[in-house]
Amino acid sequence: MSMQPQSWPQPSPEITAAVLAMYRGRRAPLPVVIRDELGELFADEQFAAGFGVRGRPGWSPGRLALVTALQMVENLTDRQAAEAVRLRIDWKYCLGLALTDEGFDASVLSEFRTRVVEHGLEAKALDLLLAALVGKGLVKPGGKQRTDSTHVLSAVRDLNRLELAGESVRACLEALAAAAPDWLAQVIDVPDWNIRYGVRVDSWRLPASETKRTQLATAYGVDGFTLLEAVYAPDAPAWLADLPAVETLRVALLQNYTRTTDRRGREVVKRREADVDGLPPGRYRLTSPYDTDARWGVKRDLFWNGYKVHISETCTDVESDSTTGDPDAQVLPNIITNIATTDAAVPDTAMTAPIHDSLARRGLLPDEHLLDSGYPSADLLVESAARYGIALVTPMLADVSAQARAGTGFDAAAFHVDFDTQQVTCPKGQTSASWSPTVQRGTETIVVKFDTDTCRTCPARAQCTTASRGGRQLTIRPRHVHHALQQARARQNTKAFKAKYALRAGVEGTIRQAVAVTDTRHARYRGLAKTHLEHLYSAVALNLIRLDAWFNGLPLDRTRTSHLSRLELALAA
């Protein structure tokens, strides 16, 4: 498919006349407002890398990007979006199409998404929108931003380990039967294997007996290894090993089975047991043969299979902005500035630096970043300030030592640390005996020990340490990290911090809007790349909705207000 970059034409006179007639005295629909206020939002040149210069002419990629965003605004399927382009006046106005334009087939949207992902253009639409808003002064660097994450369910069925083994074999058989049917018929007994793998594993009831389930699991393992041996045999076509389903089966067998030889030289295939043979960490473990990027995740009492999305947005403190006394002060809309998508096993703290990198790339770093306690660490407090000039407004996790949890002992905060003399003084006035800089799990630390004889005779020993041998031992961080952590923990107990941090709660409303409008918690597509693409265009859609409200002068409500509450406010006024 080829693409010749062209500027979008202005809405045709007949379309413009129809829109003016239908919405005279009324609020115009979102597509009309966006075209009038932002013009040609996504230029074709920005997507040229994903399209060639030869071949069948394709539809405008810039328009397809906007169609995808409008599709997310109304949560439409590909077929419904293609019909909207063909039939709706407001969409034709926004896209600059003639009244008689026949649009495109629904499959074009799927092909567009594939090309965008393959050429690394996923974030292009959000980048272009933010750049346009920066040019209009609606988004500015500095100020405050807030970030939070939520779970995303993958677009595949949840499978237990037994179902995963059987379905991995079946998926590989299906791929081989489609790619090399003649070869497959020569290496397996098709009728016999069709009995076990002709239908999906979840379409019939698994055995209730543990013995029979173990036998079935072993049978799946034996069949899987047999199939792989045939694929990797010297006389088999070499390209069969490159099929994704074959590699998925190999990994699934490696993670869930052991293959040994007994004393008689017979091969023994056995399912792995976690406490005996061990299982791979959750961040590496396959959960489905149809989406190899999805992982199991847990957050408090929630357990899900899929992904996690991190949403960052500008945040306007409506109350503080309205009390500045400046009559010309303009409250800007809250705009989503970054989207990060990971598998469900990635912790929030691992995404703080990547989020800042993305914001820096767009030139939209905030002065203050409001986060919950899952994102920061002592190192990130220092790194964010030194590298980006960002102050993290976030509660730091409390000391989890036995003394701190008890509330009656001497925790680390009770000790005075003197980095100049490299000594620590305990609450009873005794000084440390050793100061040992070291690296623990890749993190620079300092291990401080007190003399055994001094601690043994101390009357407060029971409040200080539970060690049966030796004296009290402390693990502290280097000077700059230690001081940053102490200051953050002291600051988070002040009223000023609590008042400022209350603004972070608004991101929960953004997540709620994303779920209600674009169904963000359910992945439309399979794979991390396309799920990330979905989230990016969902962010564009939410931004368009907010811009539509802002251009029409609708105020930014702090929360939902009932009719009775509105009546009370009206009577009070």
pLDDT at 566 (0 to 100): 78
pLDDT at 322 (0 to 100): 47
**d(Cα 467, Cα 472) in Å, to the nearest integer?**
8
Q: What is the pTM of this model?
A: 0.89
Low-confidence stretches of the chain (pLDDT < 50) are 322-325, 327
Q: What is the dihedral of CA 527, 529, 535, 538, to 10 degrees?
A: -100
pLDDT at 318 (0 to 100): 57
* Cα–Cα–Cα angle for 167, 173, 174, rounded to 5 degrees: 90
pLDDT at 267 (0 to 100): 84
**d(Cα 180, Cα 308) in Å, to the nearest integer?**
37
pLDDT at 319 (0 to 100): 53
> Largest Cα–Cα distance of the chain, in whole Å?
95
Please give the backbone phi and psi of residue 227, each rounded to the nearest 5 degrees, phi first: -65, -40
Q: Where are the domains of the chain?
A: 13-121, 161-271, 314-396+495-566, 402-482
